[in-house]
């Protein structure tokens, strides 16, 4: 019989799997092994009973026949005994619970179940390892071998974690061996994260071991982290946007209240100053709302470019006309290469990229400094650059500034900003098949470049 710990020896060609036997939990044991065995036993018993009944019937018939045919009582008894012995010899092998057949049957049963378990272990996406009380790895299924390499026979703390000795804070082997089931999360130095469930397990040699399943949850964890980050960004954005909306509104409200005060006799110059201030605050509001709307349209994929043949100098000039008026304290200059080809682009979207770059140039550089917009042909592209003489961008931030909601450490000269301007610019340029990047020197200024495919 298979014994209390039913075990299997694995097939010879199955790498490490073949070295160990398995003891199954009682419920599995019952359904996989004991139930079929009990049923088969019943079947054998039924068969034996039937054969014995037939034999008894035959013996009685033979007895009746002999007693009626042979009148000598002694001879009749001898013949009856001989007949019964012959009958017994013939049916004996069928009733006697053929042990060899029985053992063969059990072996087949065990082998089938073992093959089934092996197939399950081999195809499991999760890694399975059996670790002995001496911390040595006794078994690894193929998935475990794939993820961690062959470590059968080595110490688990060495092979899995690269430690020289067991780490009591991390390792649950002692608790598990005495019967507890533990769930832990292992973060490996290469960035992989595993959820490990360890349960007690009696190996085929009856040694109490730990059966651990390793589930790679790195991707899941990264998604969770991203979601947490996104939620943080959302709440930051919400508080940022509320602040950004409130401050121009407060200024506008203040200016209107001042203008409405009848007891103050505003002269024309002061009234004009106040109205200009109001107009600037309104522009700030409009730019913020535009950026928010554009970002959500880009996110929803409903702001595809409506391309046409466009002239870059025209787009730049029109944008600057507006910008010069908004920031009259900077010196704006343009420089266009003479051989500039046209581009196939959505002029409104490209204007939005320029507005965002120019607003930043104004916000991060002192009044009276130069802001230069250039356009030149480079191979099959038109490259547009916006340079300022402002505070500059630390090298570590040059990549990040194009991320949604990222706001750098440099102080804006003007209040405002949501960290969306460059992200929108990048999204627009990329949908046009171009590239965008920045160069900067702290204290000397920044240059933003973007390209558009030339016609």
358 near ligand ADP, rule: CB under 6 A: no
Whole-number Å distance between alpha carbons of 160 and 201: 20
384 near ligand ADP, rule: CB under 6 A: no
Token pair of 287 as six digits = 């730019």
Which of residues 121, 391, 428, 452 is near ligand ADP by CB under 6 A? 391
Which of residues 251, 347, 410, 451 is near ligand ADP by CB under 6 A? 410
- Cα distance between the two ends of the chain: 83
Nearer to ligand ADP by C-beta: 176 or 401?
401
Selection from 53, 6, 55, 52 nearest residue 29 by Cα: 6
Selection from 321, 424, 333, 428 nearest residue 387 by Cα: 333
420 near ligand ADP, rule: CB under 6 A: yes
Nearer to ligand ADP by C-beta: 142 or 416?
416
Which of residues 196, 393, 428, 452 is near ligand ADP by CB under 6 A? 393
Which residue is associated with the tokens 């990222």?
A: 406
Which of residues 323, 390, 450, 451 is near ligand ADP by CB under 6 A? 390
Residues 6+ apart with CB under 8 A from 305: 345, 346, 349, 428, 431, 432
Task: Please state the closest distance from residue 365 (CB atom) to ligand ADP, in A.
Answer: 7
Which of residues 132, 248, 419, 434 is near ligand ADP by CB under 6 A? 419
Residues 6+ apart with CB under 8 A from 337: 375, 376, 377
Whole-number Å distance between alpha carbons of 446 and 139: 59
Residues 6+ apart with CB under 8 A from 244: 284, 288, 416, 417, 418
Nearer to ligand ADP by C-beta: 446 or 451?
446
Which of residues 66, 128, 350, 401 is near ligand ADP by CB under 6 A? 401
- Which listed range, 34-42, 65-73, 140-148, 388-396, lies at the site for ligand ADP (CB under 6 A)? 388-396
Task: Please state the closest distance from residue 418 (CB atom) to ligand ADP, in A.
Answer: 5
Whole-number Å distance between alpha carbons of 137 and 121: 16
Whole-number Å distance between alpha carbons of 372 and 331: 8
- Which listed range, 17-25, 128-136, 225-233, 421-429, lies at the site for ligand ADP (CB under 6 A)? 421-429
Which of residues 388, 389, 432, 449 is near ligand ADP by CB under 6 A? 388
127 near ligand ADP, rule: CB under 6 A: no
The contact set with ligand ADP (CB under 6 A) reads 356, 360-361, 364, 388, 390-391, 393, 401, 406-408, 410, 417-423, 446
């Amino acid at each position: 019989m298979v014994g209390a710990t039913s075990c299997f020896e694995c097939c010879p060609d199955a790498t490490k799997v073949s070295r160990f036997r398995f003891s199954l939990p009682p419920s599995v044991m019952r359904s996989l092994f004991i139930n079929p065995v009990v049923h088969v036993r019943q079947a054998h018993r039924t068969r034996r009973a039937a054969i014995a009944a037939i034999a008894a019937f035959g013996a009685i018939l033979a007895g009746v026949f002999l007693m009626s045919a042979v009148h000598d009582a002694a001879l009749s008894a001898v013949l009856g005994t001989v007949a019964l012995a012959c009958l017994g010899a013939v049916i004996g092998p069928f009733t006697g619970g053929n042990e060899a057949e029985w053992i063969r049957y059990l072996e087949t049963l065990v082998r089938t179940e073992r093959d089934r378990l092996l197939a399950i272990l081999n195809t499991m996406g999760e890694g399975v390892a059996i670790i002995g009380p001496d911390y040595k790895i006794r078994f690894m299924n193929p998935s475990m071998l794939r993820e961690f390499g062959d470590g059968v026979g080595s110490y688990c703390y060495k092979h899995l974690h690269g430690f020289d000795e067991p780490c009591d804070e991390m390792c649950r082997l002692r608790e598990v061996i005495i019967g507890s089931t533990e769930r832990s999360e292992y973060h490996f130095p290469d960035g992989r994260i595993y959820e490990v469930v360890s349960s007690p397990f009696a190996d085929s040699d009856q040694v109490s071991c730990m059966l651990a399943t390793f589930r790679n949850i790195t991707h899941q964890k990264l998604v969770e982290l991203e979601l947490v980050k996104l939620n943080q960004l959302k709440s930051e954005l919400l508080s940022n946007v509320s602040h950004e909306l409130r401050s121009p509104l407060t200024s506008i409200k203040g200016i209107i209240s001042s203008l409405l005060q009848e007891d103050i006799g505003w002269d024309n110059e002061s009234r004009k100053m106040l109205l200009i201030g109001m107009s600037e605050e309104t522009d700030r509001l409009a730019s913020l709302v535009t950026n928010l709307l554009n970002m959500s349209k880009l996110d929803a994929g409903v702001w595809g470019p409506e391309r046409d043949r466009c002239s870059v100098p025209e787009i730049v000039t029109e944008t600057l006309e507006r910008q010069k008026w908004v920031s009259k304290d900077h010196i704006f200059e343009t420089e266009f290469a003479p051989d500039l080809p046209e581009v196939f682009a959505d002029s409104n979207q490209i204007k939005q990229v320029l507005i965002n770059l120019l607003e930043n140039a104004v916000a991060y550089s002192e009044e009276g400094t130069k802001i230069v917009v250039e356009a030149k042909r480079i191979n099959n592209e038109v490259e547009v650059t916006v340079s300022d003489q402002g505070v500059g961008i630390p090298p570590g931030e040059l990549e990040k500034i194009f991320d949604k909601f990222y706001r750098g450490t440099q102080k804006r000269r003007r209040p405002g900003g949501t960290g969306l301007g460059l992200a929108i610019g990048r999204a627009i340029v990329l949908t046009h098949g171009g590239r965008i990047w920045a160069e900067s020197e702290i204290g000397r200024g920044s240059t933003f470049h973007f390209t558009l495919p030339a016609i």
